[in-house]
Amino acid sequence: MADKSFFIDTTMCMACRGCQIACKQWNMNPGTKTVQKGSHQNPEDFSYSTFKLVRFSELEVGGKLRWYFFPDQCRHCTVAPCQVVAESLNVKAITQDKATGAVLFNKKAKVKEKDFKEIRENCPWDIPRWDAKTQGLGKCTMCIDRVKEGLLPACVKTCPTGAMNFGDRDKVLDLAQKRLKEVKATYPKAELLDYESVRTIFLVIDERKNYHKFAAARDVKSIAYFKQLSRVAG
Ligand code: SF4
Ligand code: SF4
């Protein structure tokens, strides 16, 4: 089985949240009780049982109201800072599947809260979550159980517009570059976010920060990730 990747074309997303529901269903995660706080985003953030979240941002740009939709999830990094940090803390809860490249959290492994905090702080996109009751880590699994059977991830299978795509990494990168070229003609600021270092590649047409605080990778250079990497490299 080849290295896999997602391509998420935000220009095609209409924020129906079908991906969010499919993710809950396939992973048998319970619904989250929410309250209306003036945004269509629902729930407010990721949790131990919410791996996929369509983020909404409503901004006035150039005197016009703009909506930005961002179907957020784990990036399945090529070198995963969460894993590097977990290993440096002797936490044996995070692995990378050799065949697909999926970064996997073992829900059964108990992780101390202080270790979880360090792991979360070192994820450039603020993805990992933790459950106080089970002490397990939670996030997107790449639907590895489906993928190993030749099926698409549940979120991709459900998406009715073509915003969510998945497949062999080389083909996904080709598709992403082709689509980037198409939209650049109309939207010169269009870009593929961090595509060389992640397996969840987002196409955006405007400034990253307009979509979501963590659409731009958080700078983790000062903390354990790069220290550990330099130890490995040295
Ligand atoms: S996005 Fe965060 S949680 Fe996902 S693999 Fe990368 S570092 Fe780990
Ligand atoms: S790949 Fe699976 S676990 Fe990950 S966001 Fe999509 S449905 Fe959820």
What's the confidence (pLDDT) of residue 150? 97
- Residue minimizing CA distance to atom 3 of ligand 2: 140
Spatial distance between the Cα atoms of 52 and 138, rounded to a whole number of angstroms = 11
Q: Among the atoms of ligand 1, which is closest to the Cα of residue 128?
A: 3
Residue numbers in the chain where pLDDT is lower than 70: 220-234
Q: Which of 51, 127, 142, when mutated, tests ligand 1's pocket best, judged by the most ligand atoms within 8 Å of its CB?
A: 127
Ligand 1 surroundings by CB, under 6 angstroms: 74-77, 80-82, 103, 123, 125, 127-128, 139
- CA of 153 from ligand 2 middle (Å) equals 6
Query: Which ligand number lies closest to the CA of residue 143?
Result: 2
Count the neighbouring beta carbons within 10 Å of the beta carbon of residue 132.
Answer: 9
| Closest ligand relative to 21 C-alpha | 2
Q: Is the peptide bond before 43 cis (omega within 30 degrees of 0)?
A: yes
User: 86 CA to middle of ligand 1, Å?
Assistant: 11
Ligand 2 mean position, distance from CA 74 (Å): 9
pTM: 0.93
pLDDT digits (tens, 9 = 90+) for 35-81: 888 888 999 999 999 999 999 999 998 899 999 999 999 999 999 99
Q: What is the largest CA-CA distance in the chain?
A: 52
d(CA 184, CA 214): 23
Interacting residues of 136 by C-beta distance below 8 A, sequence separation 6+: 48, 93, 105, 106, 107, 108, 109, 110, 111, 130
d(Cα 107, Cα 104) in Å, to the nearest integer? 9
pLDDT of 228? 54
User: 210: which 2 tokens?
Assistant: 């307009």
Helices and strands in the chain, H and E counts: 8, 10
Collapse the DSSP code of 50 into the 3-class scheme (helix H, G, I; strand E, B; otherwise coil) and give the result.
Answer: strand
Q: What letter does residue 152 receive in the DSSP assignment?
A: P
pLDDT for res 220: 65
Q: What are phi and psi of 41, to 5 degrees?
A: -65, 135
Phi then psi for residue 94, to 5 deg, are -125, 130
Dist. CA 72–CA 113, nearest whole Å: 24
pLDDT at 40: 86
- Is the Cβ atom of 105 under 6 angstroms away from ligand 2? no
Looking at residue 227, its pLDDT comes to 52
- Rounded to 5 degrees, φ, ψ at 99 are -70, -50
